[in-house]
């Protein structure tokens, strides 16, 4: 855990405790929505999920994973053929390039195995802190805060952060969420963002946190489009 985490106000700490408890009741079994079997599959699926829905990625990956079972297979893949498998996920040329280069480095630097540290993962093409924390948390039981669009949006609305930058949001959440809960908290926030606290029209009336949520940005431009 970073030694220089921000110092949250007492009110933010108290609200975070209530949010954690409520989300745990609502989504006790929250999980990663990307279908995968092992760290390589989750790494590839998360790269594909950029600006694409998890549901769409899950439609693409069965054939993709069958065709390319190992990092070496992606590294040596014909670019056009790989692009064909992932075309429907959008930005497929760049994603195919990142996957090939990412897996080439996994083969060359890590013996074909996905590395198990944040510092090593973020050096791979197409892998940022979000992707790294997903893989670490779900495949290696190393807790991490995954700041996707849902987690960022809800964290601002719930008053857990004032930041837009994902790294700063991650640090703010690390300061108020116990480390063992980082991965499950992220999944629960994502579930709530998809089911209740929508981007454009959050269903506040159906939200069990409505009584203490500050609803920051709900009625302004940021809240309507984030």
Beta carbons of 47 and 92 less than 8 angstroms apart: no
Residues 6+ apart with CB under 8 A from 163: 156, 169, 172
Neighbours of 153 (CB within 10 A): 22
DSSP type of residue 147: -
Alpha-carbon torsion, ordered 165, 166, 172, 174, to 10 deg: -160
Q: What is the three-class DSSP state of 218? A: coil
For the record, the structure tokens of 215 come out as: 């609803």
Nearest-angstrom CA–CA distance, 138 and 87: 26
Q: Is 138 a catalytic residue?
A: no
Residue of 13, 37, 73, 130 marked catalytic: 130
Cα–Cα separations (whole angstroms), residue 27 to 99, 137, 142, 154, 161 = 32, 17, 20, 15, 22
Q: Which of 95, 138, 148, 172 is catalytic?
A: 148
**Residues 6 or more apart in contact with residue 68 via CB below 8 angstroms:** 74, 77, 82
Annotated active-site residue 54? The verdict is no
**Which residues are catalytically annotated?**
130, 148
């Amino acid at each position: 855990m970073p030694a220089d985490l921000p110092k949250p106000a007492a009110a933010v700490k108290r609200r975070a405790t209530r949010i954690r408890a409520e989300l745990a009741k609502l989504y006790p079994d929250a999980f990663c929505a990307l279908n995968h079997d092992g760290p390589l599959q989750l790494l590839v699926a998360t790269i594909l999920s950029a600006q694409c829905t998890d549901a769409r990625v899950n439609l693409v990956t069965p054939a993709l994973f069958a065709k390319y079972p190992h990092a070496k297979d992606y590294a040596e893949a014909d670019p056009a053929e790989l692009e064909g498998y992932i075309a429907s996920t959008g930005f497929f040329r760049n994603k195919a390039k990142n996957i090939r280069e990412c897996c080439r480095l996994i083969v060359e630097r890590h013996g074909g195995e996905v590395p198990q540290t944040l510092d090593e993962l973020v050096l791979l093409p197409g892998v940022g802190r979000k992707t790294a924390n997903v893989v670490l948390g779900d495949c290696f039981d190393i807790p991490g805060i995954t700041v996707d669009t849902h987690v960022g949006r809800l964290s601002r609305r719930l008053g857990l952060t004032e930041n837009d930058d994902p790294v700063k949001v991650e640090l703010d959440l690390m300061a108020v969420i116990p480390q063992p809960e980082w991965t499950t908290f992220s999944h629960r926030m994502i579930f709530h963002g998809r089911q209740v606290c929508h981007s454009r029209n959050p269903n506040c009336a159906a939200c069990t946190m409505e009584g203490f949520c500050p609803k920051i940005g709900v009625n302004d431009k940021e809240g309507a489009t984030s």
